[in-house]
Copies of this chain bind each other. A is one copy, B any other.
Amino acid sequence: MAGKVFFSVTMSLDGFMAPEAVPAEDAFSPEKQDDPGVRRWMTKWSELQAWLFPQRWFRENLKLGEGGEGGEEGIDNDIARATYERTGASVMGKRMFDLGEQAWPEEAPFHTPVFVVTHTKRDPWERPGGTTFHFVNDGIENALDQARDVRISGGAETIQEYLDTGLIDEFSITLAPVLFGTGTRLFDRVDPDRLALNQARTAASTRVTHLTYTAVKR
């Protein structure tokens, strides 16, 4: 394998990468948007990702405005773009795919092969713009044999599974100044005694701090 295996997520200061789960079919259902649980999920998710929405790269990638019109440039934008550009393939769990299948635009925002780890058998699903979803039933190692870097996109369980195998070379956390209190913790169920971390790089904007660590199995 030529590339590195990494993940890059935004985490609340108290360690969560997602608000308390609501059923995927509710989160993006128009008639459920007034449900208190769904509203709380959306509010919390928006607070967590607030640094990303105004970035030029984000707006370009989702084709908001003309060529990212009105988007910010700076450290946050540079890091978001660099993360995207190094990624040759993405890996995600079934729950994240289920949520995204309803949330992504037709031109899904990956523009790489995406390996969905699932027990479900399904033919590859090709989207316009270079994203093809492959449904992988035989374990996670097979998804990693790529020329460029492989991003473990999420969710938390999939990231934890990869961390525990020792297959993650490094990871980046964008630490957001919000508290969740409840939700899905990034590092729950990772065995802390099997993983030694080194702080590799740090960069801060006025909004968030970007932290990169290398991981070694011990």
| Chain A interface (Cβ < 8 Å from any Cβ of B) | 13-15, 173, 175, 177-181, 185-187, 190-193, 195, 197-199, 202, 204, 206-209, 211, 213
Contact = CB atoms under 8 A, between A and B. Distances in A.
A14 to B, nearest CB: 4
A178 B197 contact: yes
A208 B198 CA distance: 9
Contact of A181 (B173, B190, B198): B190
A192 B197 contact: no
B175 A179 contact: no
Contact of A177 (B187, B193, B197): B197
Nearest to A197: B177
Contact of A187 (B14, B173, B213): B14
A182 to B, nearest CB: 8
A185 B191 CA distance: 17
Contacts of A13: 173, 187, 197, 213
Contact of A192 (B14, B186, B190, B206): B14
* Count of identical protomers in the assembly: 2
Nearest to A189: B181
A52 B174 CA distance: 24
A78 to B, nearest CB: 16
B192 A179 contact: yes
Nearest to A163: B179
Contacts of A207: 199
Given A15-B15, A181-B190, 14 more contacts: A13-B173, A13-B197, A14-B15, A14-B190, A14-B192, A175-B175, A178-B192, A181-B187, A181-B191, A181-B192, A181-B193, A199-B204, A199-B209, A202-B204
A192 B19 CA distance: 12
A45 to B, nearest CB: 14
A209 B211 contact: yes
Contacts of A202: 202, 204, 209
Contacts of A190: 14, 179, 181
Contacts of A191: 181
Nearest to A182: B192
